Amino acid sequence: MQKTLPTLLLLLLVPMTGAAQAPTPADAKAFVEKAEEQLLKASIAAERANWVASNFITEDTERIAADGNQRRMELAAGLAKEATRFDGLALDAETARKLKLLKLSLVLAAPSDPAKSEALARIAAGMEAAYGRGKWTPPGGEPLSLEEISQRLATSRDPKELAALWAGWHEVGAGLRKDYARYVELGNAGAKELGFADMGAMWRSKYDMPPDAYAKELDRLWEQVKPLYVSLHAYVRMKLREQYGKDVVPEKGPIPAHLLGNMWAQAWGNLYPVLAPKDADPGYDLTKILVEKKTDARQMVRYGEGFFTSLGFETLPKTFWERSLFTRPRDREVVCHASAWCVDWVDDLRLKMCIEINAEDFATVHHELGHNVYQRAYNRQPVLFRDSANDGFHEAIGDVIALSLTPEYLKKVGLLTKTPPPGKDVGYLLNMALEKIAFLPFGLLIDKWRWQAFSGEVPEARWNEAWWDLKLKYQGVAPPVARSEADFDPGAKYHIPAGVPYSRYFLAHVLQFQMHRALAKTAGCTDPIHTCSIYGNKEAGAKLIRMLEMGQSQPWPDALEALTGQREMDATAVLDYFAPLQKWLDEQTKGQPKGW
């Protein structure tokens, strides 16, 4: 997850100058230049406040961050409204694109009423902080953080304990419902002042296509990959039924959500020991290797940096190592959710992450550094172009690198002494699919739920019901205990109270495979694409750098074409990558029920 101006709340009040005479193209150009100066200044100030608030959670830091975000949000809203003065003018391409992006840059638009604007900023900061402070106390036990609960969910095979842990954390969401309802009300008011029907329409307008076309594009991509997910779901349900018995896991229907090794059932990799084929042991355990080598958090980040420098990227600046947060402090509350920052919009890069020494965080570090190198690559672009081609690109880049964390790569960096023998592909691909393919429907439904909540298609009185309707429709999972509208289960997922759009992650899970396929070809890899690593290949690195440097200066199809030769997002690369696994899954589940 990245932290940058277009993906957060933008802000400072700008006076709405009345147009005594018709504006000219020169006026538009001057307006954009001034707007970029103001946005950069306000963004840096707000980012510094947000950094402190995330790393020192107190009422005072929450207020300071809220004030900074309010100023930045009001600035962006005021500029977005003023930008409409130039609608219809014949402008040069760069100015026209900047004005368009300015009007679409907001994630949360401040209402013009100062009291409502202040309330919105405080609610937004308060919900994120409340989530960061969230804990659950089991009967007779000590308070548990999300990280501690997640560790137990990952390893326990006691369905009663898993259900208690699941229900305990979801209590955190229930306390956010009232604030979230007000957040929706005020956020929609701001979006309507900018000419959008609601916040969902505003979010969907950011992709160089009409909002409805974007929603249809997501559905098209999902239909491409759905058969693979259904096969994976059938296999996992069958194996969990063997593990827990017919009274816990049905032969048909949805999988109980608490059994999937993850609080939100969004990734199932923690179940690999239960699901792994008997003859598909890859012969190594990366978590065990990292621990045995006494790898610390800083060294985990060094591995990530080394991958990017092998492609031709610069080393991370000295300030990165001085200012980042790599481990959870013992003396204060922090937001541990991994995020990458570029505080000054040039090279004050930072990573904020409570790193655990395991294979999952090894990949996550690479993902977050992907944000950092992208932020740095486009730092010479004008301010309004300092973002990814679309937000899915930002999320995809680090994962493109993670797809190259193959056994061959691990051998090159000294984490393996030898690579596994041929024929171990199924276990490797199953482990990967439990993360990547299991995630796809979850990556889709988060914003589908929000779009319904924002538009009023689903009223507040049915929010939780609608959440589980979507979880059932797309993921094929069900809650372990009865739910009602007294609960607010969406609030138990960070990105909901933090107001972070989520369809970007779905796009990223498609784009990363499309990009990997293209970069592997550039690197000259003729083996199956799941075995290809671009580590150390300067030609692939040069192509990647050129695309990253474009930032948001061109529509995303141009950036995609520069890297892949294609102008349309294409999920067939996902199917290509997992083709051996698809065949194996269908063999394993022959005669078993599929779907739910």
pLDDT, tens digit (0-9, with 9 covering 90-100), for 539-559: 999 999 999 999 999 999 999
Range of the domain at 104: 2-133+175-205
Concerning whether 368 is annotated as a catalytic residue, the answer is: yes
**CA nearest to 548, candidates 440, 400, 402:** 400
- Alpha-helical (H) ranges within 156-198 are 159-174, 177-193
- State which H helix or E strand residue 176 sits in: none
Q: Is residue 267 part of a domain?
A: no
- State which H helix or E strand residue 145 sits in: strand 144-145
pLDDT, tens digit (0-9, with 9 covering 90-100), for 221-236: 999 999 999 999 999 9
Concerning whether 170 is annotated as a catalytic residue, the answer is: no
Q: Is the predicted pLDDT of residue 14 greater than 70, yes or no? A: no
Confidence band, pLDDT 50/70/90 cuts, at residue 137: very high
Return the ∠ at Cα 493 (arms to 60 and 252), rounded to 5°: 165
Domains of the chain: total:
1
Q: Is residue 152 part of a domain?
A: no
> What's the whole-model pTM score?
0.86
Q: Is residue 197 part of a domain?
A: yes
Q: Is residue 287 part of a domain?
A: no
Average pLDDT, the chain: 92
Q: Rounded CA gap, 464 and 459, in Å?
A: 10
pLDDT given for residue 20 in this prediction = 57
Q: What is the DSSP letter of 87?
A: T
Q: Is the predicted pLDDT of residue 5 greater than 80, yes or no? A: no
Concerning whether 394 is annotated as a catalytic residue, the answer is: no
Count of C-beta atoms within a 10 Å radius of residue 158: 11
- Catalytic, out of 180, 378, 505, 577: 505
Q: What is the mean pLDDT of residues 281-287?
A: 83
Q: Is residue 539 part of a domain?
A: no
Q: What is the mean pLDDT of residues 280-307?
A: 92
- Name residues whose C-beta falls within 8 Å of residue 485's C-beta, 6 or more positions apart in sequence: 461, 462, 463, 464, 465
Q: What is the DSSP letter of 107?
A: S
Whole-Å CA distances, 588 to 87, 196, 437, 579: 59, 49, 17, 15
Of all residues in the chain, the percent with pLDDT exceeding 90 is 81
pLDDT given for residue 8 in this prediction = 37
Confidence band, pLDDT 50/70/90 cuts, at residue 42: very high
Give the 3-state secondary structure of residue 589: coil
Confidence band, pLDDT 50/70/90 cuts, at residue 280: confident
Q: Using N-to-C axis directions, what is the helix angle for 211-244 and 503-522, rounded to 10°?
A: 90
Concerning whether 367 is annotated as a catalytic residue, the answer is: yes
pLDDT given for residue 235 in this prediction = 98
Query: Would you say how long the chain is, in residues?
Result: 596
Q: Rounded CA gap, 381 and 364, in Å?
A: 27
**CA nearest to 261, candidates 140, 329, 165, 353:** 165
- Contact 201/190 with Cβ under 8 angstroms? no
pLDDT, tens digit (0-9, with 9 covering 90-100), for 149-183: 999 999 999 999 999 999 999 999 999 999 999 99
Q: How many whole angstroms from its chain centre is CA 141?
A: 33
- Catalytic, out of 337, 394, 509, 516: 337
Give the 3-state secondary structure of residue 172: helix
Q: Is residue 49 part of a domain?
A: yes
Q: What is the DSSP letter of 142?
A: -
Q: What is the mean pLDDT of residues 60-88?
A: 88
Q: Is residue 101 part of a domain?
A: yes
Q: Three-class SS string for 41-67?
A: HHHHHHHHHHHHHHHCCCHHHHHHHHH
- State which H helix or E strand residue 352 sits in: strand 349-352
Concerning whether 495 is annotated as a catalytic residue, the answer is: yes
Q: Rounded CA gap, 397 and 2, in Å?
A: 11
- Catalytic, out of 394, 495, 516, 530: 495
Concerning whether 530 is annotated as a catalytic residue, the answer is: no
Q: Is the predicted pLDDT of residue 243 greater than 70, yes or no? A: yes
pLDDT given for residue 10 in this prediction = 39
pLDDT given for residue 12 in this prediction = 34
Count of C-beta atoms within a 10 Å radius of residue 282: 18
Neighbour-count burial of 96, counting CB atoms closer than 10 A to its CB (0-12 exposed, 13-18 middle, 19+ buried): middle
For the chain, the maximum distance between any two Cα atoms, rounded to a whole number of angstroms, is 78
- DSSP strand pairing (255-256 vs 339-342): unpaired
pLDDT given for residue 19 in this prediction = 45
- Catalytic, out of 233, 366, 371, 516: 371
- Contact 251/594 with Cβ under 8 angstroms? no
- Catalytic, out of 170, 366, 367, 509: 367
- State which H helix or E strand residue 289 sits in: helix 286-292
pLDDT, tens digit (0-9, with 9 covering 90-100), for 469-516: 999 999 999 999 999 999 999 999 999 999 999 999 999 999 999 999
Q: Rounded CA gap, 172 and 130, in Å?
A: 8
pLDDT given for residue 2 in this prediction = 62
Q: What is the DSSP letter of 72?
A: H
**CA nearest to 477, candidates 147, 256, 207:** 256
Concerning whether 109 is annotated as a catalytic residue, the answer is: no
pLDDT given for residue 3 in this prediction = 55
pLDDT given for residue 7 in this prediction = 38
Q: What is the DSSP letter of 62?
A: H
Concerning whether 505 is annotated as a catalytic residue, the answer is: yes
Q: Is residue 116 part of a domain?
A: yes
pLDDT given for residue 11 in this prediction = 36
Neighbour-count burial of 595, counting CB atoms closer than 10 A to its CB (0-12 exposed, 13-18 middle, 19+ buried): exposed
- Catalytic, out of 74, 305, 395, 435: 395
Higher confidence at residue 157 or residue 7?
A: 157
- Catalytic, out of 36, 356, 368, 435: 368
- Catalytic, out of 167, 174, 276, 338: 338
Confidence band, pLDDT 50/70/90 cuts, at residue 420: confident
Q: How many whole angstroms from its chain centre is CA 177?
A: 22
- Contact 560/327 with Cβ under 8 angstroms? no
Q: Rounded CA gap, 495 and 238, in Å?
A: 31
What is the Cα Rg of the chain in Å? Answer: 24
Both tokens of residue 41?
Answer: 């200044």
Both tokens of residue 272?
Answer: 């690999």
pLDDT given for residue 195 in this prediction = 85
pLDDT given for residue 281 in this prediction = 73
Count of C-beta atoms within a 10 Å radius of residue 99: 26
Question: Residue 2's beta-bridge partner residues?
Answer: 340
Confidence band, pLDDT 50/70/90 cuts, at residue 330: confident
pLDDT given for residue 73 in this prediction = 79
Both tokens of residue 294?
Answer: 């006494």
Q: How many whole angstroms from its chain centre is CA 51?
A: 19
Q: Rounded CA gap, 322 and 328, in Å?
A: 16
